[in-house]
Structure 1
Amino acid sequence: VLDRYLAAVQRVVDRHDILRTSFVWEGLSRAAQVVWRNAPLNVTEVELDGSGGPGHAQLRLRFDPRQHRIDLGRAPLLRFVIAREPGSARWLLLQLQHHLIGDHTTLEVMHAEVKAVLGGRDHELAAPQPFRNLVAQARLGVGTKAHEEFFRGLLGDIDAPTTPFGLSEVHGDGCGVHEAHRRLPQALNARLRSQARRLGVSLASLCHLAWGQVVARSSGREQVVFGTVLFGRMHGGAGADRTMGLFINTLPLRLDLDGTGVEASVRTTHARLAELLAHEHASLALAQRCSGVAAPAPLFSALLNYRHTAPALACGPDAGLGGVEWLGGEERTNYPLTLSVDDFGEALGLTAQVAEPVSADRVCGYMQRALEQLADALEQAPNTPVRELDILPSAERAYLLEELNRTAAP
């Protein structure tokens, strides 16, 4: 099974130019992407310690991306480590993929193609779309001047960083980051989708406004900026949904969590996101320079990643492959606070990645509470000032006001 799986991955690498891409910059005026005609997989076999604990944990520790680097000058930027599990006939496989050649959608497309090859259906796969189409679109699309004009209008009066919980280190390597997952109640999911349909806005707009209130309350600011991860494929042309490569881009979103009514704030958020889409391939560095926050201070330290996720991917990218068991995976950014909203079509899930000492599960709780408050307001009192949306779950409010406040004084 292992040999067949690796052969299937090699077949997919052979099909897609971005998977055969390396990056060079030494002696050049600007960095360049180089596509190799042939890029054989790099597979390393190691021997595990029989007394060193679970085999997969040993592999993750030994090849931790915080310590183990991928050479950007050699394609593919995809590495495999294999080992026989101590005391077992089972083989373990660790896949390391650099973010430069792929995003969440890339993993989904790769999974589907590997599955097709293993099932003998590779002749049914559509012709691969070259990544250079995106490169051309990004370079020949909206110009720098238009990007600067837009971001100056959005961010010019923002003169202080937005750092929720005081988390300001945006050059980290993911160390000390903890992760929590939560599936939102189905009733809340249905209420949010109903309100989005009623207002003619995206569900993503409701989630961005709720996250904005979490950021506002945890940073002590009403004018907040946080990074939003853009899909990058909305204007990618035919076949963009099947093209592998790094399409996503992170750009700043500015929201004002003030006395404006909730419904009006939802519409404003939706409009801001629509405007941002026209600049989805702008440089984040350019956008940050257009604010009133002077470098090296960060403009923001929190991200929201709203992503549409195939239900099969919730079980791991290799769900449904015979003889393959998914043991786990890890995605990290350099930001200290990231919330991913997974839209499964008929359900919503939250994943928080938060640097110590803030609890990732508490952050999920704040977001769920903000969404509940948003749904309540839209249903019953749409003119409620958006700043009044509460983010404290009832259990935490009781803890703060009653448990910690058990004093003799009235």
Structure 2
Amino acid sequence: MKIKDIYPLTPLQEGIFFHWHVSKNVYFEQSSYEVSGELKVELLHKAFDFIVSRHDALRTCFNNTIGNDILQVVVESIPSGFTYQDESANEIFSLENFKKADKKRGFNLYKGSQIRLTVLKLGENTFEFIWSHHHIILDGWSIGILINEFFYVYRCLLENKPFTLSPPPSYSEYIKWLMKLDKENMASYWEQYLSGFNAHTGLPHFNPENQNSEKTEGEIFHKISEKNKKALTALCQKNGITENIFMQTVWAIVLAKYNNTDDVVFGSVVSGRSSEIDRIEEMLGLFINTIPVRIKFDSKKAIKDILIENQKAYINGISNHYIQLAEIQSKSNLTHQLFDTIMVYENYPIQENLINELDNSSQDALKIMAVKTYEQSNYDFVIMVLPGNDTVIRFVYNAQKYDHDFIAEIKNLFERIYSKILKNPDSLFFEIKEVLDPVEKKDSEIKLQGYRIQLSEIENALQQYKKIKSAIVLVDDKDNQGKLFAFYTSHEKLTEKQVRAYLVKKMPSYMIPSKLIGVEEFPILSNGKINKEALITLAQETTKNSAYSLPRNELEAKILSIWKIILQKEVIGIQDNFFEIGGNSISLMKMVALINKELNINLKVLNAYQFTNIETLTSHIKEDIEHGLEKVDEKNTKSVDIVNQTMSILKNKQTIS
């Protein structure tokens, strides 16, 4: 394959690339269209291949084996991702099973195209179009362009008419524009923006996942009534605010209530399409980014005034939307994930535009009967606002972590808040918050490094491990460090590595205890209760001098030297947590790439994410090398020819280093 272009990743692409290494099924997107009409398979095939040849984003793969940066590589041509199957006579064929298998197949970001189209014939003039792609190459706006162009080209082929499409603007122009931005200035903006924010504001009711179970998606819909829709439109127009800002403010009030705070941060997806770039609205690619939204409430201010302030804050921050979330995170006081809920305001009505396009076509063209979409993000809770004549709100959640009744409670609270605001936008914030039902605080809740944590949830997760009999989690506040220690009794001897690997699958990293200690039995006081002080003393003894423990062997020393290069730090102990000393998802990938290069192994990003200090990471590497599990095999899935061409081009390309 011949390379056409090479350029770096956008901020969100870097994050998605990391999460793909951790879990191959996240950010897989699938749209299924039920279609009726006469179909010319060969023309559909030609239309698909033409669209792929037209847009660079559809011929892109990724490379992280050259230098310290991840690159996206555009090839001149690529094998067709079009498939046609006639299942009309297959009585046992299951469309749902086919779509599940397609999801499981996923994509290999290292090679080939990251998009495919399968056309299934299910009956006489009845078809299913299944579009699958990886989110790393396309955002929602781009999907709208892609689908409309595809059916336009098909219609032209069907009617034997010439295409009147202009040459598409190049995604590389957007990348060049991004590279010229002042990242340091943006980082300073976010540091100031998040200054003083010290407490994570997420949702409670975390339920540990079932071990080895896949993430399953739950969803609750809410439609805004016609009366409220009119009131919302009037409020926004009168005060110069957008519907997006209104919805963000409502969600912030929900989080303020659940976290008993007036200072809230959550995530928001922004378009990333700057008007400074010519024909940006016609480009295909991933432009969106996820940024934090911080809303601080003044109890004595009217909600209307808070809405106006939030709108101004959004406008003032637009020029700083083009930075990696990991970089923003590093500027905050929180050492782990800044937020775990996001809001998406979808202003790209794909289905409506597509139906209009087909309705304007000839009688021989296809008709869309129904559209179903599937997407899986890395977040466990997403609010998706779909504006239009009927604004619909989707509450999408990870059913392994939140139960349906709780999300229904969230939906009802959201509705009550916006209804009250629309009824009287001059209401003060404390008046809105006061009428809401109080949120019960659990006895075992603590606040650690800015995060609210239920100790009982960690204990329950440990006790779900079949080999563990009982568990207790304690907090050590010595020297104001605030560390979590977990103690357990088990049916058989377990290593800390085994237990940690289990917990990593069950909960966010900030909930995982610093030490996991197995004991034969818990020490008991004379009153029959567990001697917690004795357990904490035991934990302190096992971790003494861990603040700066020197490497004990050659492998630990080698890993330490790599960490120093990646993190640009000279003082690192073998028990220091990678993320707590300045690491993030992007630097983690760079660290893994350098380890693999220096040690000639195939360490997975997921394993580095699980074992976050040098001591446990080295132990994992050593154990897997001894068992022959770290052989360099994944690199064979990457085209050697592509790598060689990339190296050659980079020597002559000054814009990328």
Normalising by structure 2, report the TM-score.
0.53
Aligned pair partner of 1:195 in 212, 215, 235:
235
The percentage of counterpart residues that share the same residue type is: 16
Question: What is the deviation of 1:34?
Answer: 1.2
Q: For 1:198 and 1:223, locate their aligned partners in 2 and report how far apart those are by CA, in whole Å.
A: 27
Q: Is the 8 A contact 2:297 2:429 kept in 1?
A: no
Note if 1:377 corresponds to 2:431.
no
Secondary structure (helix, strand or coil) at the match of 2:105 reads coil
Q: Is the 8 A contact 1:162 1:225 kept in 2?
A: yes
- Give 2:316's aligned residue: 275
Note if 1:306 corresponds to 2:314.
no
Note if 1:156 corresponds to 2:195.
yes
Q: For 2:215 and 2:436, locate their aligned partners in 1 and report how far apart those are by CA, in whole Å.
A: 27
Query: 1:118 and 1:314, CA in 2 relative to 1: closer, same or farther beyond 3 A?
Result: closer
Aligned pair partner of 2:108 in 49, 71, 74:
71
Q: For 1:31 and 1:291, locate their aligned partners in 2 and report how far apart those are by CA, in whole Å.
A: 25
* Structure 1: stretches of 5+ with no match in the other structure: 393-410
Q: For 2:163 and 2:86, locate their aligned partners in 1 and report how far apart those are by CA, in whole Å.
A: 37
| Higher mean C-alpha deviation, range 106-115 or range 213-222 | 213-222
Tell me the alpha carbon deviations over residues 185-209 of structure 1, each in whole angstroms, 9 at most, x when there is no partner: 1221111111111112222211110
Q: For 2:410 and 2:277, locate their aligned partners in 1 and report how far apart those are by CA, in whole Å.
A: 37
Q: For 2:284 and 2:214, locate their aligned partners in 1 and report how far apart those are by CA, in whole Å.
A: 25
Secondary structure (helix, strand or coil) at the match of 1:281 reads coil
Note if 1:366 corresponds to 2:413.
yes
Aligned pair partner of 1:183 in 223, 228, 234:
223
Task: For 2:257, give the aligned amino acid.
Answer: R
Secondary structure (helix, strand or coil) at the match of 1:329 reads strand
- Give 1:287's aligned residue: 328
Task: For 1:80, give the aligned amino acid.
Answer: L
Note if 1:114 corresponds to 2:150.
yes
Q: For 2:178 and 2:162, locate their aligned partners in 1 and report how far apart those are by CA, in whole Å.
A: 31
Task: For 1:204, give the aligned amino acid.
Answer: N
Question: What is the deviation of 1:126?
Answer: 2.8
Q: For 2:55 and 2:411, locate their aligned partners in 1 and report how far apart those are by CA, in whole Å.
A: 37
Note if 1:247 corresponds to 2:278.
no
Note if 1:25 corresponds to 2:64.
yes
Note if 1:342 corresponds to 2:386.
yes
- Give 1:398's aligned residue: none
Question: What is the deviation of 1:111?
Answer: 1.6
Question: What is the deviation of 1:263?
Answer: 1.8
Query: 1:323 and 1:388, CA in 2 relative to 1: closer, same or farther beyond 3 A?
Result: closer
Question: What is the deviation of 1:19?
Answer: 1.4
Q: Is the 8 A contact 2:265 2:294 kept in 1?
A: yes
Question: What is the deviation of 1:238?
Answer: 2.4
When the two structures are aligned, how many residues end up with a matched partner? 381
Question: What is the deviation of 1:12?
Answer: 1.3
Tell me the alpha carbon deviations over residues 329-385 of structure 1, each in whole angstroms, 9 at most, x when there is no partner: 2022110110011122x442211111233335544433332221221221xx34454
| Higher mean C-alpha deviation, range 110-119 or range 354-363 | 354-363
Aligned pair partner of 1:388 in 420, 428, 433:
433
Q: Is the 8 A contact 1:43 1:81 kept in 2?
A: yes
Secondary structure (helix, strand or coil) at the match of 1:211 reads helix
Q: For 2:341 and 2:347, locate their aligned partners in 1 and report how far apart those are by CA, in whole Å.
A: 20
Q: Is the 8 A contact 1:318 1:325 kept in 2?
A: no
Q: For 1:186 and 1:122, locate their aligned partners in 2 and report how far apart those are by CA, in whole Å.
A: 44
Question: What is the deviation of 1:289?
Answer: 1.1
Q: Is the 8 A contact 2:143 2:350 kept in 1?
A: no
| Higher mean C-alpha deviation, range 368-377 or range 74-83 | 74-83
Query: 1:377 and 1:330, CA in 2 relative to 1: closer, same or farther beyond 3 A?
Result: same
Query: 1:29 and 1:228, CA in 2 relative to 1: closer, same or farther beyond 3 A?
Result: same
Question: What is the deviation of 1:391?
Answer: 6.3
Q: For 2:164 and 2:366, locate their aligned partners in 1 and report how far apart those are by CA, in whole Å.
A: 20
Task: For 1:209, give the aligned amino acid.
Answer: T
Question: What is the deviation of 1:57?
Answer: 0.3
Q: For 1:39 and 1:213, locate their aligned partners in 2 and report how far apart those are by CA, in whole Å.
A: 49
Secondary structure (helix, strand or coil) at the match of 1:100 reads coil
Q: For 1:36 and 1:287, locate their aligned partners in 2 and report how far apart those are by CA, in whole Å.
A: 32
Note if 1:124 corresponds to 2:164.
yes
Question: What is the deviation of 1:26?
Answer: 1.6
Higher relative CO (CA 8 A, sep ≥ 6), structure 1 or 2? Answer: 1
Note if 1:56 corresponds to 2:56.
no
Query: 1:217 and 1:383, CA in 2 relative to 1: closer, same or farther beyond 3 A?
Result: closer
Query: 1:329 and 1:75, CA in 2 relative to 1: closer, same or farther beyond 3 A?
Result: same
- Give 1:220's aligned residue: 260
Tell me the alpha carbon deviations over residues 139-180 of structure 1, each in whole angstroms, 9 at most, x when there is no partner: 112x222122111111122222221134599xx998122122
Question: What is the deviation of 1:217?
Answer: 2.2
Q: Is the 8 A contact 1:227 1:304 kept in 2?
A: yes
Task: For 1:274, give the aligned amino acid.
Answer: I
Task: Find the structure with the greater CA-based Rg.
Answer: 2
Q: Is the 8 A contact 1:83 1:92 kept in 2?
A: yes
Q: For 2:162 and 2:430, locate their aligned partners in 1 and report how far apart those are by CA, in whole Å.
A: 55
Query: 1:88 and 1:236, CA in 2 relative to 1: closer, same or farther beyond 3 A?
Result: same
Q: For 1:57 and 1:100, locate their aligned partners in 2 and report how far apart those are by CA, in whole Å.
A: 25
Task: For 1:240, give the aligned amino acid.
Answer: I
Q: For 1:287 and 1:234, locate their aligned partners in 2 and report how far apart those are by CA, in whole Å.
A: 20
User: For residues 317-356 of structure 1, what are the structure 2 equivalents within 5 Å?
Assistant: 322=366, 325-326=369-370, 328-344=372-388, 346-356=389-399
Aligned pair partner of 1:263 in 275, 281, 304:
304
| Higher mean C-alpha deviation, range 357-366 or range 190-199 | 357-366
Q: For 1:311 and 1:187, locate their aligned partners in 2 and report how far apart those are by CA, in whole Å.
A: 26
Query: 1:235 and 1:361, CA in 2 relative to 1: closer, same or farther beyond 3 A?
Result: farther
- Give 1:41's aligned residue: 80
Note if 1:146 corresponds to 2:203.
no
Normalising by structure 1, report the TM-score.
0.83
Q: Is the 8 A contact 1:341 1:350 kept in 2?
A: yes
Q: For 1:384 and 1:364, locate their aligned partners in 2 and report how far apart those are by CA, in whole Å.
A: 20
Q: For 2:49 and 2:303, locate their aligned partners in 1 and report how far apart those are by CA, in whole Å.
A: 51
Q: Is the 8 A contact 1:216 1:222 kept in 2?
A: yes
Question: What is the deviation of 1:119?
Answer: 2.0
Query: 1:88 and 1:24, CA in 2 relative to 1: closer, same or farther beyond 3 A?
Result: same
Q: Is the 8 A contact 1:312 1:319 kept in 2?
A: no
